[in-house]
A and B are shown apart, each in its own frame.
Chain A
């Protein structure tokens, strides 16, 4: 999947079901945004009615609310509590099981050949997928399960028609415009009409587009799409300072870490909603007879004390040490480890922190501290 590969067309919103049908007919499990439990989450989509038409979200630190908005399209919401990582890097995954046989034991590995298709993937989320690719598929040790699923994954992206109060993708060079890493990119156009501008980003996307009944995209369609994206970008209030990687490293012993500790619940929510956090723990289980054993992998978090447990105890006992580990890895050391920041500016950690700790606000505070020192 590369940059826009040239194919462009207009699909009337009333024909969106045909896109869903084509994806299904190609044997994909289609996952996309849908309304569940007072939030827009990612789940299986059967038909166009599963999409959250006419629903918008309001987000602020520690706060997420949905509201009915008759003018809202299918993708008027911004990112919610789920991220796509739960489908490629599942929260609980059986790695293998073993059964005792006459001599030794036999090992069974679960196989899953489901092809995944994601619809409604935002620019920041594509960036997050690419970051996880680097972690799971492009290092010295590769996760084959992730790699295969990701390689076969169809990405139908969406350009954001608005930003949440918690968004800061523009300062992370991660949005709001989708520029690469997609098969199809949709822009929902609603000025006196309801259409989707479709752009293709891969041969797969080209083939998919040919299956749809569309009309030619005109200059005015691109102009409307560009204006919408420009307005989205202009509405983004939060930003991450560009010198934050160095700033944090210069103030590892500052007393402000203790101020954060007094607020931080070390509950792990920020890491689990983060679309790039990749840490896991492995647990071995046995049954009562000792004849059957299983190895499972679960999402873990640097906010859990067990995460840094070595002989003699946990290295990071204090909440300050655990928050510092998270933010310095995400914003500073990630550059050294993977060549980019670990943050896409999606704002999930701000919204879903139960006590509203704001990564951009903490970053700004450290920049202030840096200026004073």
Chain B
């Protein structure tokens, strides 16, 4: 690429696919750190923040959203081609997002119900994570992502070190913070033991069970957890199915577990 201007700052691009924009906003939400971020990278493509566009290739591409349409299917290949590092951010990009609920049904049935003129809708039968289409260098989980994890990821990338982003359970985060387990102390349904840490134990510290916004943790034993809810807390099958069909329903582990309770 001879057109690339000499610059010492890495070029950052932020791309949107099928999503609500919440994860991109996490970057703008880095209020105190935003100026340093802007200082450390050249924000080359970020339509949520600026109309100015710098051509690729890009050193770091942050990709938000799932792949839901034939157009997105093609566009993600182009993004990959132009990006040295491709990092997917958020539940949509890493597991298909809330829109992956449609994967459990026939999408044409939905289109007929929702749209007055279904013939104008051009969509894929399933919405899938970006990693199903292109190789991804790092997946940052969350719905939305945690801005501190995003900063850590950028810090690590720019300083060429491994990011400190764990794959362990939400329970580790609760225990480190001293948050009392809502499952054991109140019998509340909580996905924490099978969900990846990262949200800052938001729900359990506000007296609610974990909804699984950060998706499955490493080696999640969903069967054992679901059996406990069913045997000990008499949770009906329908509720069990819904428990695993939240924002990360499209992840393999949660999809399979929810299907056990159809």
A binding-site residues for B, Cβ under 8 Å: 36-39, 41, 62-66, 81-82, 86, 91-92, 262-269, 272-273, 283-290, 298-299, 301, 303-306, 317, 319, 351-352, 354-356
- Chain A neighbourhood of B29, CB < 8 A: none
Tell me which residues from 203 to 240 in chain B have a Cβ below 8 Å from any Cβ of chain A: 207, 218-221, 223-225, 227-228, 232
B56-64, B117-125, B178-186 - the one binding chain A: B178-186
- Chain B neighbourhood of A38, CB < 8 A: 180, 185-186
Q: Do residues A64 and B185 form an inter-chain contact, with CB atoms below 8 A?
A: yes
**What are the nearest 5 A-B pairs in CB distance?**
A272-B175, A267-B193, A91-B176, A265-B193, A267-B169
Q: Which of B172, B220, B228 contacts A355 (CB 8 A)?
A: B228
Q: Do residues B176 and A299 form an inter-chain contact, with CB atoms below 8 A?
A: yes
Q: Which of B40, B177, B194 contacts A288 (CB 8 A)?
A: B40
Kindly provide the distance from the CB of B11 to the nearest chain A CB, expressed in whole angstroms: 15
Task: Report Cα–Cα, A37/B184, bound state, in Å.
Answer: 12
Q: Do residues A288 and B167 form an inter-chain contact, with CB atoms below 8 A?
A: no
Scoring B151, B187, B193 by chain A CB atoms within 10 A of each residue's CB, the highest score goes to B193
Contact of A62 with B171 at beta-carbon distance under 8 Å, contacts A285-B152, A289-B36 already known? no
Q: Do residues B159 and A286 form an inter-chain contact, with CB atoms below 8 A?
A: yes
Kindly provide the distance from the CB of B23 to the nearest chain A CB, expressed in whole angstroms: 19
Q: Return 25 A-B CB contacts under 8 Å, by A number.
A: A62-B183, A63-B187, A64-B185, A66-B185, A265-B220, A265-B221, A266-B221, A268-B168, A272-B172, A283-B164, A285-B155, A286-B156, A286-B161, A288-B40, A289-B36, A290-B159, A299-B175, A301-B172, A303-B168, A305-B219, A351-B184, A352-B181, A355-B193, A355-B224, A356-B232
Kindly provide the distance from the CB of B141 to the nearest chain A CB, expressed in whole angstroms: 15
- Chain B neighbourhood of A269, CB < 8 A: 171, 175, 181, 193
Task: Report Cα–Cα, A273/B171, bound state, in Å.
Answer: 11
Kindly provide the distance from the CB of A362 to the nearest chain B CB, expressed in whole angstroms: 15
Q: Do residues B219 and A354 form an inter-chain contact, with CB atoms below 8 A?
A: no
Task: Report Cα–Cα, A287/B154, bound state, in Å.
Answer: 9
Q: Do residues A352 and B159 form an inter-chain contact, with CB atoms below 8 A?
A: no
Q: Do residues B232 and A62 form an inter-chain contact, with CB atoms below 8 A?
A: yes
B158 touches A (CB below 8 Å): yes
Task: Report Cα–Cα, A41/B36, bound state, in Å.
Answer: 40
- Chain A neighbourhood of B221, CB < 8 A: 262-266, 319
B37 touches A (CB below 8 Å): yes
Contact of A265 with B168 at beta-carbon distance under 8 Å, contacts A63-B184, A91-B178, A289-B40 already known? no
Minimal Cβ-Cβ distance residue in B for A39: B180
Task: Report Cα–Cα, A46/B262, bound state, in Å.
Answer: 53
B192 touches A (CB below 8 Å): yes
B70 touches A (CB below 8 Å): no
Q: Do residues A288 and B158 form an inter-chain contact, with CB atoms below 8 A?
A: yes
Task: Report Cα–Cα, A350/B156, bound state, in Å.
Answer: 38
Extra pairs beyond A268-B168, A285-B152 (13, CB < 8 Å): A37-B207, A39-B185, A63-B184, A267-B169, A267-B172, A269-B171, A269-B181, A285-B164, A286-B156, A288-B36, A290-B159, A304-B168, A352-B181
Contact of A37 with B172 at beta-carbon distance under 8 Å, contacts A265-B193, A288-B40, A290-B159 already known? no
Task: Report Cα–Cα, A287/B223, bound state, in Å.
Answer: 40
Tell me which residues from 136 to 178 in chain B have a Cβ below 8 Å from any Cβ of chain A: 151-152, 154-156, 158-159, 161, 164, 166-169, 171-172, 175-178
- Chain B neighbourhood of A288, CB < 8 A: 33, 36-37, 39-40, 151, 154-155, 158
Task: Report Cα–Cα, A151/B156, bound state, in Å.
Answer: 38
Contact of A306 with B166 at beta-carbon distance under 8 Å, contacts A269-B181, A354-B183 already known? yes
Q: Do residues A319 and B183 form an inter-chain contact, with CB atoms below 8 A?
A: no
Q: Do residues B167 and A305 form an inter-chain contact, with CB atoms below 8 A?
A: yes
- Chain B neighbourhood of A37, CB < 8 A: 179-180, 185, 207
Scoring B152, B154, B183, B224 by chain A CB atoms within 10 A of each residue's CB, the highest score goes to B224
- Chain B neighbourhood of A286, CB < 8 A: 155-156, 159, 161
Task: Report Cα–Cα, A287/B194, bound state, in Å.
Answer: 31
- Chain B neighbourhood of A299, CB < 8 A: 172, 175-176
Contact of A62 with B184 at beta-carbon distance under 8 Å, contacts A267-B193, A284-B161 already known? yes
- Chain B neighbourhood of A304, CB < 8 A: 166-168, 172, 218
Q: Do residues B175 and A273 form an inter-chain contact, with CB atoms below 8 A?
A: yes
Q: Which of B152, B155, B178, B218 contacts A82 (CB 8 A)?
A: B178
Q: Do residues B224 and A263 form an inter-chain contact, with CB atoms below 8 A?
A: yes
Q: Do residues B171 and A268 form an inter-chain contact, with CB atoms below 8 A?
A: yes
Task: Report Cα–Cα, A42/B5, bound state, in Å.
Answer: 59
Task: Report Cα–Cα, A284/B156, bound state, in Å.
Answer: 10
Q: Which of A262, A305, A354 contacts B181 (CB 8 A)?
A: A354
Contact of A81 with B180 at beta-carbon distance under 8 Å, contacts A288-B151, A304-B172 already known? yes
- Chain B neighbourhood of A319, CB < 8 A: 219, 221
Task: Report Cα–Cα, A356/B232, bound state, in Å.
Answer: 10
Minimal Cβ-Cβ distance residue in A for B179: A37
Task: Report Cα–Cα, A288/B228, bound state, in Å.
Answer: 44
Minimal Cβ-Cβ distance residue in A for B154: A288
Q: Which of A36, A265, A273, A306 contacts B225 (CB 8 A)?
A: A265
Contact of A354 with B225 at beta-carbon distance under 8 Å, contacts A267-B193, A268-B171, A319-B219 already known? yes
Minimal Cβ-Cβ distance residue in B for A57: B185
Task: Report Cα–Cα, A287/B151, bound state, in Å.
Answer: 9
Scoring A66, A86, A265 by chain B CB atoms within 10 A of each residue's CB, the highest score goes to A265
Task: Report Cα–Cα, A100/B227, bound state, in Å.
Answer: 53
Q: Do residues A265 and B169 form an inter-chain contact, with CB atoms below 8 A?
A: yes
- Chain A neighbourhood of B184, CB < 8 A: 62-64, 81, 351-352, 354
- Chain A neighbourhood of B175, CB < 8 A: 91, 268-269, 272-273, 299
